[in-house]
Structure 1
Amino acid sequence: MRFIEAGSVRLALREQGDPADPTLLLIHGYPDTHRVWDEVADLLAADFHVVRYDVRGAGASSTPRDAGGYALGRLVDDLAEVLDAIGKDTVHLVGHDWGSIQGWEAARRFPERLASFTSLGGPGLDQGSHFMRNAAKREVAGQAVRSWYMAAFQAPGAGELAWRTVAPRTLARTMRLSEGIEPRDGHPADTLVQDGTNGLNLYRANMFAGRDLVPEPYVDVPLQLIEARKDIFVSPKLLASLHRWVPRMWHRTIPAGHWAQRSHPATVARMIAEFARHVEHGAEPSRELRRARVAEGRKAFDQRLVVVTGAGSGIGRATARAFAAHGAEVVCADLDLDAARRAAEDIGRLYGTAHARQVDVSDTGAMERFASAVQDDLGTPDIVVNNAGIAVTGPFLDHELTDWERTIGVNLWGVVHGCRLFARQMVERGEGGHIVNIASLAAFVPSRVLPAYSTSKAAVKMLSDCLRAELAGRGIGVSVICPGFVSTPIAGNATYRGGDRALTEQALQRRGYAPERVAAHILRAVHRNTAVVPVNAEGRIGYALSRLSPGLLRGLARIADSDLGRLAGKD
């Protein structure tokens, strides 16, 4: 720690790491001090020269004499004084909350001194003002509700009273309950009450203060926007509006709240380091950073890595092609390697990059090797579609034990393996993802001729519901797709313990519901993060009846024709 003079105040400055390395300058927000960055700074100091300081009126820095000393221009002048004090012509700037507001203004005023800017938690004042003046009324109202405290802080004495009474306890409780952050030495700081009281002037000097709005507040600096999806203070619509002001922008998301650097320090540090290295040295960006690049005309799933099991035919093949058509790189996995290769080659000719892999989804070891190989060779998948499945038809008493073992092994254990292995990769990466599990109408409609198949698919649906609840906080969506009768090769590949194979295959073809239509539902489910998707007429009707009158479905199962193919043919 050392102190530097910045106009009428003294700023407490801390440096870590080798000054010969590229410099990262981390600026904190309100009501924090530089100590909010402790975990992130420690992770970065091995490869970067990390500089932090307490902004005026916070922590160990001195306090301006009046509210005018907190004007944004003064804050940015302090930032320039810090750059001079550390003797750096350019730095990689990182700002959080009010530190981010200062960063936007600095990037506009002296872009030549910033190699890059990473904004965590907010826009600049000018960019935010343009949004509040020009966005749709509903979007403006949504942000206004999140920003209620800005108006409250204008009332003389109200904010000061809050910081002397309930605000410190409320802050600690909010951090603990909404973000899982426990207080630790340095955060919240011992000076919290004074910092919070002083910092009220940030709002009084800059909000509703009649600032001249910059007509076109463009920022000509490589800018990485890290959107904390659970930040209660900033709306996604406001952050999305920033794209228009930044020609070179990368927009990344993290499943975290306002203090992401405390709750997810490893992910935040990795994002900062990766972006700085890319700008500083031209380092090859990761798939995640390439995907984050904001550009016109990008496809919906551009730069996404998608894994599809059972991709050699039917719904799996159609799904792999659909994702590829929308910009994704696809891994086509199937027990039949030749079929996987044909699917991948077709995608390569028509759309882009695809990879063929052979795997038996029911084999624990094989799936573990497959998941590791995907991560090692291509990276962590963004989307995984657990589609591989088989069917056995006929009455329960005609099923052999091996029929149950094979059906449960592929239809349920295959999904369990895919969810377990790839969800863990997504969690460790810390940038979210999506898992799609293919179930069936049979998951909620009982049948006399599909006991093993229906049992496995019902388990897949319940597994998906459980996983969705568990992984939501990690930013990972889970969808279960429940098609009715679809014209795929599954009937031809089924094991028959009763019923007529030819009749069943013929009935499914007559149904005429193409797997490409199921694939469209899958892409829509990922885009919208939909929990349960019943597909086609019988799927939707069956799902509705299972919720409204399950007894009726049980009764229909007792009287239904025991020949699945004949039943399907009557649709």
Structure 2
Amino acid sequence: MKHRTVISAGVPLAVYEQGDPARPTVLLVHGYPDTHHVWDDVAATLAASGHHVVRYDVRGAGASGAAAGVRGYRLPQLADDLFAVADVVSPDRPVHLAAHDWGSIQSWEAVTDPRSAGRIASYTSLSGPCLDHVGHWVRRRLIRPTPRHVGQLLAQAAHSWYIGVFHAPLLAPAAWRLGLAAGWGRVLSYAEGVAPRAGHPQPTLAADAVRGIALYRANMLPRLLRPRQRPTAIPVQLITLTRDRYVSPALGDDLGRWAPYLWRRTLPAGHWSALLEKGPTVARMIKEIVSCADGAPASPALDRASDAQRGRGPFAGKLAVVTGGGSGIGRATALAFAEHGADVVVCDLDLATAERTAELARLLGATAHAYRVDVSDGPAVDTFATEVAAAHGVPDIVVNNAGVGHCGTFLQTTEKEWRRILEVNLGGVIHGCHAFGTLMVDRGEGGHIVNLASAAAYLPSKILAAYATSKAAVYMLSDCLRAELAPAGIGVTTICPGIVNTNITRTSTFSGRSADRLDATRDRISALYTRRNFPPDKVAHQILRAVRKNKAVVPVTVEARAARLLGRLSPALLRAAARFDIG
């Protein structure tokens, strides 16, 4: 790593460079109370992928000099520092800027400065809004205090409790000097699961933190009380951290007013763990905006993250994969996601029906694609997942819906029939969860998996031995997987429909039925489903609601909910009902 010193308004700034200087320059700006080391993982990943990476310790931190007095930490001076570093490390080409916390706040000052034109090519912001934008954000909510706006204001006030402490005389400096600095590593480990590492927390933390209090005192009240108009024409990528304890996601709601070229990404990470634990993921997001700003086509994920997508609905910018999407609940779910803004990929054993679903989804304004996949074939599902990721990006939502019905007692059901039921109903879910779950974890941006079980998962019946067993296994698999994937920000939901009016009764197989009884049985069951007349789009509605609210288990239909309740209140009665035979 190359080290040099840049002088800005008499303050020496310690600058660190790595990677090929002939490649695009990415300038990383750290926040409070950090140094350039907070970017170590991101910088290493970017440099290894062919970027010229530059970091510097901001004034008052690490190896850089300190300003004289609070006035030396005002935002214009901090912006001057950034431009001074950029002019030295990349004098002939604009830099791509990425910043975190107070580094992001001061970088907004530079990005909204007229000097940024031709000097800053793109900007990635994490956990540090423009203070002027926040000032206008607060004013708009005070002028029109709807319940939602009041809730947002109260939530951010709770997040920002420490700002008042930093303005109190003596209190914050004393806390840092008398033990907080020494225990900072333990605080981050306990609060965000951040493991200690070389260079972080830095040995100069106590002095850095005390000097850095001037950032709050010099800028917070003036900018929030007298916000300026600060637009920018620079491409901006906003990475919202869903587990941030200090910056609420709502602060970015109005950003499109100020940054017309805006992409919104989310990351299931805390304020510091985003950089210290998910550095490669952040680096990949930065690489995508850098490549796009330099003229390459946007990646599928970045393209969906465009702020222009927001008006499409609550799932705008998301990609949903639905198996068994050619009919019934699968088709209804794919179309519901499309109607609410998501792009969709559907697969089915019958390609024609999958293509029809994709056609209908496109009529709703979504980008949609169809594939033929046999979900019981593990390698085929792996290939499908790889193709989807390569062509459309890693999905945000996967609905493992494909399944088959079967009716028959245990002794009537043949080994071949058992194998078919388990390979499709259970194996298909296993293959889908493994193939796409692996991609989601590796991507590091969270997501959601929905597995279709059935009320039969907890409603025993002697005539549904194989089917109920397969669905009960899906139910338990989903609960286990939910616990495993929660740290990665991936939710898992089990959907348990009751009697839903789909074509499953016409495609179900039956054991122990003669040819004449088989048609009569199928007709009787189909008539029951038709009379119940619970449409698949109501199940789809529950699936979308479950994803939004990250529900663990959702019984759908009155009978599904009643059976689950009865199983808790009187398991013996539920087992007695299992003896019923439809004849």
Give yes or no for contact 1:121–1:258 (8 Å, CA) kept in 2.
Answer: yes
How far apart in 1 are the matches of 2:202 and 2:92?
Answer: 29
Aligned to 1:538: 559
2:438 pairs with 1:432: no
Displacement of 1:339: 3.6
Q: 1:328 to 1:205 in 2, by over 3 A?
A: closer
Q: 1:138 to 1:546 in 2, by over 3 A?
A: same
Match of 2:26 among 13, 24, 27: 24
How far apart in 1 are the matches of 2:360 and 2:240?
Answer: 37
Q: Given residue 439 of structure 1, which amino acid in structure 2 is its aligned partner?
A: A
Displacement of 1:353: 4.3
Q: 1:211 to 1:503 in 2, by over 3 A?
A: closer
Aligned to 2:120: 114
Aligned to 1:249: 262
Give the TM-score, by structure 2 length: 0.90
Aligned to 1:160: 173
Aligned to 1:506: 527
Match of 1:51 among 41, 51, 54: 54
* More displaced 10-residue stretch of structure 1: 414-423 or 548-557: 548-557
Q: Given residue 32 of structure 1, which amino acid in structure 2 is its aligned partner?
A: D
Aligned to 1:567: none
Aligned to 1:445: 459
Give the secondary-structure state (helix, strand or coil) at the position aligned to 1:123: coil
Match of 1:229 among 225, 242, 246: 242
Displacement of 1:172: 0.9
Give yes or no for contact 2:347–2:373 (8 Å, CA) kept in 1.
Answer: yes
How far apart in 2 are the matches of 1:137 and 1:309?
Answer: 41
Q: 1:129 to 1:547 in 2, by over 3 A?
A: farther
Aligned to 2:578: 557
How far apart in 2 are the matches of 1:128 and 1:441?
Answer: 48
Give yes or no for contact 2:135–2:223 (8 Å, CA) kept in 1.
Answer: no
How far apart in 1 are the matches of 2:328 and 2:133?
Answer: 48
Q: Deviations over 1:483-515 (max 9, x none)?
A: 110111211222223572221112112211122
Match of 1:65 among 61, 65, 68: 68
Give yes or no for contact 1:117–1:221 (8 Å, CA) kept in 2.
Answer: yes
1:169-188 pair list within 5 angstroms = 169-188=182-201
How far apart in 2 are the matches of 1:70 and 1:355?
Answer: 52
2:99 pairs with 1:95: yes
Give the secondary-structure state (helix, strand or coil) at the position aligned to 1:143: helix
How far apart in 1 are the matches of 2:102 and 2:427?
Answer: 49
Aligned to 1:10: 12
Q: Given residue 129 of structure 2, which amino acid in structure 1 is its aligned partner?
A: P
Match of 2:277 among 229, 245, 263: 263
How far apart in 2 are the matches of 1:167 and 1:3?
Answer: 30
1:104-503 pair list within 5 angstroms = 104-110=108-114, 111-112=116-117, 113-135=119-141, 136-208=149-221, 213-259=226-272, 260-280=274-294, 282-295=295-308, 297-347=311-361, 352-497=366-511, 500-503=521-524
* More displaced 10-residue stretch of structure 1: 492-501 or 102-111: 492-501
Percent identical among aligned pairs is 52
Q: 1:32 to 1:420 in 2, by over 3 A?
A: same
1:72-83 pair list within 5 angstroms = 72-83=75-86
Give the secondary-structure state (helix, strand or coil) at the position aligned to 1:398: coil
How far apart in 2 are the matches of 1:11 and 1:341?
Answer: 59
Q: Deviations over 1:97-153 (max 9, x none)?
A: 000000111112233132221111120111222333443232112111111111112
How far apart in 2 are the matches of 1:170 and 1:232?
Answer: 19
How far apart in 2 are the matches of 1:243 and 1:541?
Answer: 46
Q: Deviations over 1:335-359 (max 9, x none)?
A: 2344434444554566554433232
Give yes or no for contact 1:287–1:303 (8 Å, CA) kept in 2.
Answer: no
Give yes or no for contact 1:393–1:498 (8 Å, CA) kept in 2.
Answer: no
Aligned to 1:569: none
Q: Deviations over 1:445-493 (max 9, x none)?
A: 2222212211211221121122222222222222211111011121122
Displacement of 1:535: 1.3
- Structure 2 stretches of 5 or more lacking a match? 142-148, 514-520
Could you list the structure 1 runs, at least 4 aligned residues long, displaced by more than 6 angstroms after superposition. Answer: none
Give the secondary-structure state (helix, strand or coil) at the position aligned to 1:396: coil
How far apart in 1 are the matches of 2:552 and 2:224?
Answer: 46
Displacement of 1:549: 3.9
Q: 1:51 to 1:469 in 2, by over 3 A?
A: same
Displacement of 1:215: 4.4
How far apart in 1 are the matches of 2:296 and 2:494?
Answer: 38
Q: Given residue 271 of structure 2, which amino acid in structure 1 is its aligned partner?
A: H
Q: Deviations over 1:513-567 (max 9, x none)?
A: 1222222222232233322221122122223333444344234334xx3118xxx
Displacement of 1:327: 4.2
Give yes or no for contact 1:267–1:430 (8 Å, CA) kept in 2.
Answer: yes
Give yes or no for contact 1:322–1:520 (8 Å, CA) kept in 2.
Answer: yes
Displacement of 1:76: 1.6
How far apart in 2 are the matches of 1:365 and 1:279?
Answer: 37
Q: Given residue 107 of structure 2, which amino acid in structure 1 is its aligned partner?
A: G
Give the secondary-structure state (helix, strand or coil) at the position aligned to 2:492: strand
Give the secondary-structure state (helix, strand or coil) at the position aligned to 1:74: helix
Q: Deviations over 1:270-323 (max 9, x none)?
A: 11111011112x211111101111126324444533322222322122222333
* More displaced 10-residue stretch of structure 1: 528-537 or 54-63: 528-537
Q: Given residue 35 of structure 2, which amino acid in structure 1 is its aligned partner?
A: T
Q: Given residue 96 of structure 2, which amino acid in structure 1 is its aligned partner?
A: H
How far apart in 1 are the matches of 2:256 and 2:384?
Answer: 38
Displacement of 1:386: 0.7
How far apart in 2 are the matches of 1:483 and 1:50?
Answer: 52
Q: Given residue 213 of structure 2, which amino acid in structure 1 is its aligned partner?
A: L
Displacement of 1:395: 2.5
Give the secondary-structure state (helix, strand or coil) at the position aligned to 1:177: helix
Q: Given residue 61 of structure 1, which amino acid in structure 2 is its aligned partner?
A: S
- Structure 1 stretches of 5 or more lacking a match? 565-571
Give the secondary-structure state (helix, strand or coil) at the position aligned to 1:15: strand
Give the secondary-structure state (helix, strand or coil) at the position aligned to 1:197: helix
Displacement of 1:397: 2.7
Give yes or no for contact 2:325–2:402 (8 Å, CA) kept in 1.
Answer: yes
Displacement of 1:89: 5.7
Give the secondary-structure state (helix, strand or coil) at the position aligned to 1:26: strand
Give the TM-score, by structure 1 length: 0.92
How far apart in 1 are the matches of 2:95 and 2:246?
Answer: 28
Q: Deviations over 1:426-452 (max 9, x none)?
A: 111222222111111112222222122
